[in-house]
């Protein structure tokens, strides 16, 4: 199994780190079979599996449940679980208790938290306890009600300076990896040149140490147009819809079940 030191080594060796989200046994198994380096049970669980408008409503219990089933396919594999909104913001103590619950109850190997310098104290407390933390800055979907939409960050100098400060504080606090979401690649480069932990981009351009995509976006299963930074590496939705259409047609015309599907 890869550990935090392996991801840092991959950065040093200039080997790109590939992360994808997974939410269940099937998607996790597929990610492993494809040779993905690290799996994230993202709180995008809310907007994909649960069909919600944003990630605010997903609960700690739901994150633990999905991470547990992901881990049943990935026993020997580094899995990160997103800490959902309001599971780490009230106090560092509560954050530590909840991060501990995630590791103990789901089997996750680390947690991810959205936020900059303001959560550095909490990140420190959690990492000092032996829980690996992935930080997440730039566009932070848990701030949707402040941002008023999923908007690109780091387009102006003052924002880039703040992002660099955030990244530096999170590294100092012990985060072993940082997700950079939705920013011009120049902003990602500025962050990257000020820290030594691996950067994982999602809509942050070409120069980060790795990339992360939401499973359903990458395989083309969603029913809506994905954001600009997504590449649909397959059109699985069409493939599956066609498979179900064939199933329906064969049941209707009596060609399924066929001889080979019948018990003797
Ligand atoms: O919840 C999620 O899936 C994420 C990734 C997109 C980084 O936070």
pLDDT tens digit sequence for 150-199:
999 999 999 999 999 999 999 999 999 999 999 999 999 999 999 999 99
Q: Which pLDDT does position 224 carry in this prediction?
A: 86
Give strand pairing partners of 202: 181
Residue with the nearest Cα to atom 1 of ligand 1? 42
According to the model, what pLDDT value does residue 93 have?
98
pLDDT score, position 149: 86
Average pLDDT over residues 7-18: 98
pLDDT band at 148 (very low <50, low <70, confident <90, very high): confident
Task: Looking at the chain, list the stretches that DSSP marks H as alpha helix, in order from N- to C-terminal side.
Answer: 4-12, 25-33, 60-73, 92-106, 120-128, 144-147, 157-173, 185-192, 215-218, 236-253
- Residues across the chain: 264
- Ligand 1: centre distance to CA 245 (Å): 32
ω before 222 within 30° of 0 (cis)? no
How many whole angstroms from its chain centre is CA 262? 43
The pLDDT tens digits for 225-263 are 889 999 999 999 999 999 999 999 999 999 999 999 999
- pLDDT of 25 reads 98
**CB under 8 Å to 107, separation ≥6 — which residues?**
67, 68, 71, 75, 79
Split at pLDDT 50, 70, 90, the class of 118 is very high
Are 159 and 187 in contact by the 8 Å Cβ rule? The answer is: yes
State the average pLDDT over residues 106-120: 98
* Predicted local confidence at residue 81, as pLDDT: 99
Task: Judge if pTM exceeds 0.75.
Answer: yes
* pLDDT confidence of residue 147: 87
- Domain boundaries, given as residue ranges, for the chain: 4-233, 235-264
Position 206 scores a pLDDT of 97
> What integer is the mean pLDDT of 135-153?
94
The 10s digit of each residue's pLDDT in 221-233 is 998 888 999 999 9
The mean pLDDT of the chain is 97
Secondary structure of residue 97 in the 3-state scheme: helix
Mutate-to-test residue for ligand 1 from 23, 36, 44, 87, highest number of ligand atoms within 8 A of CB: 44
pLDDT at 52 over 90: yes
Show the tokens assigned to 46: 């809310």
Residues of 107-136 as b/e, b for ≥16 C-beta within 10 angstroms?
A: bbbbbbbbbbbebbebbbbbbeeebbbbbb
Q: How far apart are CA 263 and CA 239, in angstroms?
A: 29
Nearest-Å Rg of the Cα atoms of the chain is 20
Is residue 181 annotated as a catalytic residue, yes or no? yes
Q: Are 106 and 69 in contact (CB under 8 A)?
A: no
Q: 250 C-alpha to center of ligand 1: Å?
A: 39
Measured CA to CA, the distance from residue 224 to residue 1 in angstroms comes to 35
For the domain 4-233, what is the CATH code?
3.20.20.60
**Which residue among the candidates 33, 93, 171, 181 is catalytic per the annotation?**
181
| Distance in Å, CA 215 to ligand 1 centroid | 10
> Is the pLDDT confidence value at 83 over 90?
yes
């Amino acid at each position: 199994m890869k550990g935090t030191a392996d991801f840092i080594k991959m950065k040093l060796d200039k080997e790109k780190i590939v992360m994808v989200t997974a939410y269940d046994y099937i998607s996790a198994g597929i990610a492993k079979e494809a040779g993905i380096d690290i799996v994230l049970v993202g709180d995008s669980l809310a907007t994909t599996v649960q069909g919600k408008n944003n990630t605010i409503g997903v609960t700690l219990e739901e994150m633990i449940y999905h991470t547990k089933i992901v881990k049943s396919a990935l026993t020997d594999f580094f899995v990160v679980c997103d800490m959902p909104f309001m599971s780490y913001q009230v106090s560092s103590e509560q954050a530590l208790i909840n991060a501990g619950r995630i590791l103990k109850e789901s089997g996750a190997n680390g947690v991810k938290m959205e936020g900059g310098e303001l959560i550095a104290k909490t990140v420190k407390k959690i990492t000092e306890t032996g829980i690996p933390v992935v930080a997440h800055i730039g566009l932070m979907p848990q701030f949707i009600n402040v941002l008023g939409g999923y908007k690109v960050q780091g387009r102006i100098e003052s924002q880039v300076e703040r992002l660099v400060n955030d990244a530096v504080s999170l590294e100092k606090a012990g985060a072993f990896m940082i997700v950079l979401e939705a920013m011009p690649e120049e902003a990602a480069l500025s962050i990257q040149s000020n820290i030594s932990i691996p950067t994982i981009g999602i809509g942050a351009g070409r120069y980060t140490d790795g990339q992360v995509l939401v499973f359903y976006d990458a395989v083309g299963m969603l029913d809506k147009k994905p954001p600009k930074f997504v590449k649909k590496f397959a059109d699985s939705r069409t493939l599956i819809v066609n498979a179900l259409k064939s199933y329906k047609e064969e049941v209707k015309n009596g060609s399924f079940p066929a001889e080979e599907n019948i018990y003797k």
